[in-house]
Amino acid sequence: MEQKKKLIEVALPLDKINEANVRDKNIHFGHPSNLHLWWARRPLASARAVIWASLVDDPSAHPELFPTEVEQAKERERLFRILEQLVVWENSNNEQVLEEAKAEIKKSMGDDIPELLDPFAGGGAIPLKGERLGLKSHAYDLNPVAVMINKAMIEIPPRYQGLPPVNPDSRDTKNMGEWDCSQGLAEDVKHYGQWMKEEAFKRIGHLYPKVKLDNGEEATPIAWIWARTVKCPNPACGAEVPLMKTLDLSTKKGKEVYVELEYHGGKPEFHVISGKSDSAGTVNRKGATCPHCGQAIDFGYIRDKSRNEEITSSMVAVVAEGKKGRLYLT
């Protein structure tokens, strides 16, 4: 079969795609990346651009329509304008933009639209965008978490497209007439998600006691920060050494918080303090250092301790949900 040259083989409006990619990384609300954190997730703009430009013919593949280079360049510019609209996040559900893009795919491919397979789908950016461009998409991954993300994002929603919710509250109170796209499913996810949250609180809430703040108020803990600890090899010291790359807990501008270490009879005590720590952590790429006596500790020693199950742990701080963000508590 003769292969026609595709747009991606000739040129792409890279500046515009990169611009959209940078924005993609900074969009948090409603973005699939919020579903679950995934490593090396491809920006959606790139995924769209690559899929589309791999299907659409470069104008040079049609000398009967664009005989001169000038005409080909002009047509290429027209295709670029479509692509530049396609990569903008706000156009994700813009039917007009999608239809225009799909029409170009059809012009190049006819009815022979290939199916898309991403065998390393991870966070699912590529199959998601393939599906939006009208390609039957298949996603695989070795990691079951990635499989779950893909199921939630591209397999389940189309099954409930346009259907009303099944939970009685939404059915009774929100008479929407027509339920568009995934609105019904979204109502159910919200409803049963809330139910699960309440049930979880009932069953295991007592394991997460509230923490008391200095002003007497209570806050809900959201994380406990721990450090692994190893006994200092200096026989004259023998203190517990927390293995921490940094003593900074938060480096968020204006909200910096760190811990100060204090020893009591060889046991470290951690105090949470506002600001940035001026001492380094206790471990770096070369090894660890005992904060109590200054003894250098090599990784061989730490590995031996670990093999013998002699690594212990210490709680460093509690993170609670404050009114204006996270609170770090001693």
Ligand X SMILES: C[S@@+](CC[C@H](N)C(=O)[O-])C[C@H]1O[C@@H](n2cnc3c(N)ncnc32)[C@H](O)[C@@H]1O
292 contact, one of ligand X, Zn ion, none, CB 5-8 Å limit per kind = Zn ion
Question: If binding is defined by CB under 6 A, does position 144 make contact with ligand X?
Answer: no
Candidates 23-31, 37-45, 54-62, 289-297: pick the segment binding ligand X (CB under 6 A): 37-45
33: contact with Zn ion by CB under 5 A = no
Minimum CB distance to Zn ion, residue 264 (Å): 14
Choose one: 90-98, 139-147, 240-248, 297-305; the region binding ligand X (CB under 6 A).
139-147
The site partner of 41 among ligand X, Zn ion, none (C-beta below 5 to 8 Å per kind) is ligand X
Residues 6+ apart with CB under 8 A from 50: 8, 126
Q: Is 86 exposed, middle or buried (0-12, 13-18, 19+ CB in 10 A)?
A: buried
Total of chain residues touching Zn ion, rule CB under 5 A: 8
Question: From residue 86, how far is each of 32, 97, 99 by CA, in Å?
Answer: 17, 6, 10
CA dist., res. 65 & res. 79, Å (int): 15
Of 1 and 142, nearer to ligand X (C-beta) is 142
Judged by CB under 6 A, does residue 240 bind ligand X?
no
Phi, psi torsion values for 13, nearest 5 degrees: -80, 75
Pick the piece of the chain touching ligand X (CB under 6 A) from 35-43, 184-192, 195-203, 279-287.
35-43
Residue 295 is classified by DSSP as -
Decide: is 24 part of the binding site for ligand X (CB under 6 A).
no
When the beta carbons of 141 and 240 are compared against ligand X, the nearer one is: 141
Contacting residue, 7, 49, 79, 126, with ligand X by CB under 6 A: 126
Task: Decide: is 293 part of the binding site for Zn ion (CB under 5 A).
Answer: yes
Residue with tokens 């701080």: 317
- The H-or-E segment that residue 103 falls in is helix 95-109
Distance CA 273, CA 23 (A): 34
Place of tokens 């026609």: 4
